[in-house]
Amino acid sequence: MKKINLNDISTSAPKSFKKEETKEKLEKLVEELDELQNLLYAESKHAVLIVIQGMDASGKDGLIRKVFGRLNPEGVLVASYKEPTALELAHDFLWRIHVNAPQKGRIQIFNRSHYEDILVTRVHKLIDDDLAEKRMRAINDFEWLLKEHNNTHILKCYLHTSPGERHKRIEQRLSVPDKMWKYNENDLKEAKLWPEYEKMYEDCFAHCSKIPWLIVPSDQNWYKEYLVAVTLRDMLKGLNMKYPGLKK
């Protein structure tokens, strides 16, 4: 795979996309996704895993709410990965991940994921490059296992935002009442490490791309939501699913 340099990729929507038109398209896409998710659930031959990664304030929660919030909650599950607990640290790094792998008929969303264990851990010097390489090989094997042995279709999204947009969103957490709950005292400390995080992401893209990454320009939420929705819609339609007939 060609090396991805994030500085070469725009964080903004293409100029041909207009906000209101795109939001209207998103509404129709969500209706399509609702029907496709129902079909996925009824047929129960395929599983879907959506991995959402991105810097702080890249809009992961908002994406999940806007694109998946109106789908049947019985068929769409979300797992969020924070700092590992003592119990999780006593196991291999994929232990807490594998338990949330999707079963057939379900869409499983990872809000952050197994990739945190080769991103945060490297930026903060908790693991060295040798261990990171071993973990990346394990991640490739894990994703291959899901794909080949449980018919799992994986969509990996990196929400690509500019430093300026991220700073603006973090500042809103300090002043906008309905965003204050998101503020973390470490936000500004982590912001100083953004260049290092970008390097680690680029290394991740280079070594964990057997299942390719979707780099999502995310400075405008409406385009981010549209691009992820249309990509998932196309993936699901490509499965050529059919409703099962009457049970005999």
Residue 24: per-residue pLDDT: 98
Mean pLDDT of the chain: 95
pTM: 0.95
Q: Which residues on adjacent β-strands are paired with residue 213? A: 156
Q: What's the CA gap between 84 and 93, in Å, rounded? A: 9
171 pLDDT exceeds 80?
yes
125 or 174: which leads in pLDDT: 125
47 pLDDT exceeds 70?
yes
- What does the block give as tokens for 131? 């261990």
Residues in contact with 169: Cβ distance below 8 Å, sequence separation at least 6, in sequence order: 57, 59
Q: What is the pLDDT of residues 98-114, one digit of tens each?
A: 999 999 999 999 999 99
- Express as a percent the part of the chain with pLDDT over 70: 99
Q: What is the pLDDT of residues 66-101, one digit of tens each?
A: 999 999 999 999 999 999 999 999 999 999 999 999
Residues in contact with 25: Cβ distance below 8 Å, sequence separation at least 6, in sequence order: 226, 230
Model confidence at 178, in pLDDT bands (50, 70, 90)?
A: confident
Residues in contact with 119: Cβ distance below 8 Å, sequence separation at least 6, in sequence order: 53, 197, 200, 201, 204
Q: What is the pLDDT of residues 207-248, one digit of tens each?
A: 999 999 999 999 999 999 999 999 999 999 999 999 998 877
Residue 188: per-residue pLDDT: 85
Handedness of CA 91, 134, 235, 54 (dihedral sign): positive
Nearest to 17 by CA among 5, 8, 7, 25: 25
Mean pLDDT of 185-203: 93
Handedness of CA 139, 141, 109, 222 (dihedral sign): positive
Domains assigned to the chain: 19-237 (3.40.50.300)
Model confidence at 174, in pLDDT bands (50, 70, 90)?
A: confident
Residues in contact with 72: Cβ distance below 8 Å, sequence separation at least 6, in sequence order: 34, 37, 38, 41
SS (H, E, C) 182-200: HCCCCHHHHHCCHHHHHHH
Model confidence at 1, in pLDDT bands (50, 70, 90)?
A: low
Q: What is the pLDDT of residues 129-146, one digit of tens each?
A: 999 999 999 999 999 999
Residue 177: per-residue pLDDT: 84
